[in-house]
Amino acid sequence: MSKVIPVTSPHHFTQLLSSSRIVIADCWAEWCGPCKAIAPVYEQLATQLSRPGQITFAKIDTEAQKDIARTYNITALPTFLIFKAGREVKRVRGADPKGLNEAVKQLATEAGKADEMGEASGSGSGGAGSWTGAPAPRGYEDVTGSVDLLGLDFLNLGAETSDKRVLFEGGKPSSLGMKGKAKEGSKKDWVESDTDEQLMLFVPFQATVKLHSIHITTFIPASSEGDDDDEDEAPMRPKSLKLYTNRPHVVGFDEADDTPCTQEITLKPSDWDMKTGTAKVELRFVKFQNISSLVIFVVDGEGEGEKTRIDRLRFFGETGEKRAMGKLEKVGDE
């Protein structure tokens, strides 16, 4: 019996990404000759390395799942997408058995070492094993793993910013210990606003959740004496937030002015942990029951800069029932 899982919808793919530490996805098409040529190699890897909740092999028919192909900008077939903790870490283009073998087996080896060290698998919806910048509230779990990554929709996102899914990455921010800057040769693993300080973040969930609090992590680059490399003004931490619940889609900036929000928050400098760059936002729990989506409107930032930056978002609360497929399934950028 084949160990490869055919992806049936964007929602199904999101479930796979949140339920397995490592996911390898073969993007193919029926008419693609090279796809069929390398298929036996992929099947063999799946047979050898598949492990429930740890390493999952999937196939995405790009003709049937055009939304997924568009979301991940699949322009050549076959393309193999490799994910770790829900985030794409590598892709192999073309029928390249050697490249595919090396990439997959390297991650499988890392997963084996992690098990030996006793690291949590991260396969549960609570996001076990994820980095957090502050202790979880007592009696509540990390429900960030319930975020529907394919349904994310952000407004005023900077053109040079990282993939928006990075906000929910389980790993430690790369700029931690780097004075808020990316490691040399590494991509930025945070998001910044574009034309001004405002950001609008639409975050759908795979299951209804009860939200107790949000942890927001932002690292502001520390200026070094005599450092003239960065001519841009340093970005700001979020200051004023408006939260909207159970919206079917992202709220426009003009629409937000006329739409009552569920809660308004003003973050003070003292709210931020200077070591981890994290602020804990406590919610009015009674107003955040049975949440299927959350819109976070960053109204302004702390300071005089022109851009706002966010490195990580973590949600804490309780998970509920899986929502019906087809709802809140907006995929890709307009």
Could you give the residue numbers annotated as active site? 32, 35
Structure tokens at 205: 């969930």
How much of the chain is helix, strand and coil, in % rounded to 5?
25, 30, 45
SS3 (DSSP) at 114? helix
- How far apart are the C-alpha atoms of 303 and 84, rounded to whole Å? 35
The answer to whether 74 touches 27, Cβ cutoff 8 Å, is yes
SS3 (DSSP) at 70? helix
Q: Characterize 148-183 residue by residue with b for buried, 16 or more Cβ atoms within 10 angstroms of its Cβ, and e for exposed.
A: bbbbbbbbbbbeebbbbbbbbbbbbbbbbeeebbbe
Please confirm whether the linkage preceding 78 is cis (ω < 30° from 0): yes
